[in-house]
Amino acid sequence: MQSRRLVVSLRALDDLLEDYSYVADFNPAAARRLLDDINTKMMSLAQLGITGAARNFAPNLRAFPYRDRCIYFVVTETTMTVLRVLHGRQDITAADFSSAGDTNEDN
């Protein structure tokens, strides 16, 4: 397995912000821990070169379940791009990944 640079799409950042806001309404400290934990897991997946399981919703889409969420991403030889971070119980369709390629290259 090969280490990759982590890139997080704007939609994935929105997903994480939505999760944070929901949890923070009840427990701000838990919300921060959740975000820190998911961010650490995404960095670990990229560094360890883990490629997850294939999904049919978008070309080359992979998924890794974590903490009741599913991290959806695509990998190249050098990059792991997280497209979405959605709750594991959500019904997912191809529409959830349309225009998900907008990335935040500053990560």
Residue type, 61: L
Can you give the pLDDT of all 107 residues of the chain as single tens digits? 688 999 999 999 999 999 999 999 999 999 999 999 999 999 999 999 888 999 988 888 999 999 999 999 999 999 999 999 999 888 888 888 876 445 555 44
Rounded-to-integer distance, Cα 40 and Cα 37, Å:
5
Q: Quote the pTM value.
A: 0.87
The Cα–Cα gap between 107 and 97 comes to 20
Count of Cβ atoms closer than 10 Å to residue 74 Cβ: 21
For residue 99, what pLDDT is reported?
63
Distance from C-alpha of 62 to C-alpha of 32, rounded to nearest angstrom: 26
d(CA 30, CA 76): 33
Say what the pLDDT of residue 63 is: 94
What is the spatial distance between Cα 11 and Cα 1, in angstroms, rounded to a whole number? 27
